[in-house]
Amino acid sequence: MSHPPFNPLLPLCQLPAGAVGRVHTLAGDNAFCQRVREMGFGESAFVTKLSGTVTILCQVAGTRIALSHDAARNILVEQLARR
């Protein structure tokens, strides 16, 4: 029986440009977690990192959003694919 490959979690800021990830865990205080959920970064949401290292440009729920590196570091994703 073969097992699917294990995709370790990584911060959104470390997701390669053009890659798609699924939000797994939100770190940070309750206010931060609530705010990013309102922006569409809820657990299980699909996010595409478009570009950036200091400011992260990504697309979630059909909307392009820029996040600071610190904010993106608190959004843990599982990498699924590259565009």
Beta-sheet strand order (sheet of 63-68) = 9-11, 75-82, 19-26, 46-51, 55-60, 63-68
Specify the pLDDT at position 5.
60
Q: Would 2 be classed as within a structural domain?
A: no
Q: Give pLDDT tens digits along the chain (83 positions).
A: 555 566 789 999 999 999 999 999 999 999 999 999 999 999 999 999 999 989 999 999 999 999 999 999 999 999 997 65
Q: Would 3 be classed as within a structural domain?
A: no
Type of residue at 26: L
Specify the pLDDT at position 9.
94
Overall pTM > 0.85: yes
Q: What gap in Å lies between CA 9 and CA 23, rounded to an integer?
A: 9
Q: Would 14 be classed as within a structural domain?
A: yes
* CATH code of the domain containing 60: 2.30.30.90
Helix or strand holding residue 37 (H, E): helix 30-38
The domain tally of the chain equals 1
User: Domain range spanning residue 50?
Assistant: 9-82
